[in-house]
């Protein structure tokens, strides 16, 4: 599903418009938004404006934002709550810079973030987006010692469709880019539409995959932003200690399906790639189901197994499927012990 192009931002009207629109969607973000705003204002690159798009917060977010007197900040409060994706698309409507950076209210830019990324887009007109690595921080701002952004560790400028192949083949694991680390051309959104409203938490993944099919991509392989993890973040239900939850797998699968079905004419060896992607989702679900079974969570295990079959009905040809089946058998044997089965009792010699 594409957002109608006429709903997006109007063309730039004069040369005085800042080159970069930094968009900050927020709902009840008073705990963190001051740090986020300050990180934008502290950029070494100065030709930007910051648009804070408040989705009808009920806390004192507005007061916190208006305590900043910097003329580069524009505060906009929606007349009604548009939802997470709706507010992101409202940001795109308000943006009028050549380049657009979406930074959530609880995340942080490091000082050179805009400068280094603008330079790449200026020097490489075929590049549609540039991203970077990100530091993970906890709710107190302490840096965590792990990362899971697969495609963000090395410098590159590559054909977008090659990056797309890597991106979609990792979707069963999670995001390869972090939205707060992406600077994209506004023309990408004008051409391809806004964020997909049927994808509450993976709309950014689906957007990056769309852009990669039409533009080259670049990466700066060092952290230029900080991504804050906390219990009330919108994506929290998508992950647990194992990885993507069942809900997370299903939405990542849906995002992948949408792109594969809508842009098959732009995807080399489309049919083979689709089979590999769906198979990877299915195997991931089977392995997750086996872990549930190991822990005695039979209901969760069977629900996950059914999802695996939905992802890719031919999963029974995979080793992971038979590992799952043998785990079931062993579990039943352990449950009933070594006593003879009914079949053994009735068998005649």
Q: What is the pLDDT of residues 129-149, one digit of tens each?
A: 999 999 999 988 899 987 766
Least confident of 11-15, 46-50, 93-97, 268-272: 11-15
Question: Residue 33 has what pLDDT?
Answer: 98
Question: Residue 243 has what pLDDT?
Answer: 79
Question: What is the average per-residue pLDDT within 300-316?
Answer: 86
Closest by CA to 134, choosing from 169, 184, 182, is 182
90, with CB counted inside 10 A (0-12, 13-18, 19+), is buried
Question: What is the average per-residue pLDDT within 80-85?
Answer: 96
Position 4 confidence tier, pLDDT thresholds 50, 70, 90: very low
- Neighbour-count burial for 259-297, b at 16+ CB within 10 Å, e otherwise: bbeebeeebeeeeebbeebbbbbbbbbbbbbbebbeeee
Least confident of 18-22, 49-53, 135-139, 157-161: 135-139
Q: In terms of pLDDT, which residue wins out, 233 or 218?
A: 218
pLDDT tens figures, 92-133 = 999 999 999 999 999 999 999 999 999 999 999 999 999 999
Question: Regarding the domain with residue range 17-238, which homologous superfamily does it belong to in the CATH classification?
Answer: Spore Coat Polysaccharide Biosynthesis Protein SpsA; Chain A (3.90.550.10)
Least confident of 8-12, 25-29, 163-167: 8-12
pTM listed for this prediction:
0.86
- Secondary structure (3-state) at 175: coil
Question: Residue 116 has what pLDDT?
Answer: 98
Helix or strand holding residue 347 (H, E): none
Distance of alpha carbon 261 from the chain centroid:
19
pLDDT tens figures, 239-266 = 676 678 889 999 999 999 999 999 999 9
Instruction: State the DSSP string of 239-292.
Output: B-SSSB-HHHHHHHHHHHHHHHHHSGGGSTTHHHHHHHHHHHHHHHHHHHHHHH
Closest by CA to 211, choosing from 108, 131, 273, 134, is 131
Question: What is the average per-residue pLDDT within 266-289?
Answer: 93
pLDDT at residue 35 tops 60: yes
Question: What is the average per-residue pLDDT within 141-168?
Answer: 90
Q: In degrees to the nearest 10, what's the CA dihedral of 270, 128, 105, 194?
A: -60
Distance of alpha carbon 103 from the chain centroid:
13
Cβ 281 vs Cβ 311: under 8 Å: yes
**Chain-wide mean pLDDT for the chain?**
87
Closest by CA to 160, choosing from 177, 181, 137, is 177
Question: Residue 342 has what pLDDT?
Answer: 37
Closest by CA to 281, choosing from 239, 335, 244, 240, is 244
**Rounded CA gap, 105 and 35, in Å?**
9
How is the chain split among helix, strand and coil, in percent rounded to 5? 45, 15, 35
Question: What is the average per-residue pLDDT within 302-314?
Answer: 89
Tell me which range, 229-243, 260-274, 294-308, is most confidently predicted by mean pLDDT: 260-274
177, with CB counted inside 10 A (0-12, 13-18, 19+), is buried
Phi and psi torsions of 218, nearest 5° = -135, 155
pLDDT at residue 332 tops 70: no
167, with CB counted inside 10 A (0-12, 13-18, 19+), is buried
- Who's near 270: CB < 8 A, 6+ residues apart? 260, 264
């Amino acid at each position: 599903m594409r957002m109608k192009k006429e709903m997006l931002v109007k063309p730039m009207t004069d040369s005085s418009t800042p080159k970069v629109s930094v968009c900050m969607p927020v709902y009840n973000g008073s705990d963190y938004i001051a740090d986020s705003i300050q990180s934008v204002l502290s950029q070494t690159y100065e030709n930007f404006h910051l648009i804070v798009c408040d989705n009808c917060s009920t806390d004192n977010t507005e007061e916190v934002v208006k305590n900043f007197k910097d003329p580069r900040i524009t505060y906009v409060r929606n007349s009604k709550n548009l939802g997470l994706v709706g507010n992101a698309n409202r940001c795109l409507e308000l943006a009028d810079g050549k380049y657009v950076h979406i930074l959530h209210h609880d995340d942080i830019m490091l000082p050179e973030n805009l400068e280094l990324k603008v330079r790449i887009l200026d020097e490489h007109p075929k590049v549609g987006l540039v991203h970077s690595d990100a530091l993970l921080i906890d709710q107190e701002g302490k840096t965590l010692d792990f990362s899971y952004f697969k495609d963000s560790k090395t410098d590159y400028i590559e054909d977008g469709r090659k990056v797309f192949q890597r991106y979609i083949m990792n979707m069963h694991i999670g995001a390869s880019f972090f939205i707060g680390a992406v600077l994209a051309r506004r023309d990408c959104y004008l051409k391809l539409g806004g964020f997909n409203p049927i994808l509450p938490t993976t709309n950014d993944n689906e957007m990056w995959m769309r852009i990669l099919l039409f533009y080259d991509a670049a990466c700066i392989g060092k952290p230029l932003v900080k991504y804050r993890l906390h219990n009330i973040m919108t994506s929290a239900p998508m992950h647990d200690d194992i990885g993507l939850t069942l809900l997370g797998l299903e939405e990542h699968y849906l995002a992948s399906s949408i792109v594969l079905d809508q842009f098959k004419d732009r995807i080399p060896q489309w049919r083979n790639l689709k089979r590999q992607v769906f198979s990877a989702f299915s195997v991931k679900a089977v392995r997750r189901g086996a872990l549930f079974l190991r822990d005695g969570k039979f209901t969760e295990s069977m629900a996950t197994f059914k999802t695996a079959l939905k992802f890719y009905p031919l999963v029974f040809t995979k080793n992971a499927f038979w590992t799952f089946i043998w785990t079931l058998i062993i579990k039943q044997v352990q449950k009933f012990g070594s006593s003879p089965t009914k079949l053994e009792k009735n068998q005649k010699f």
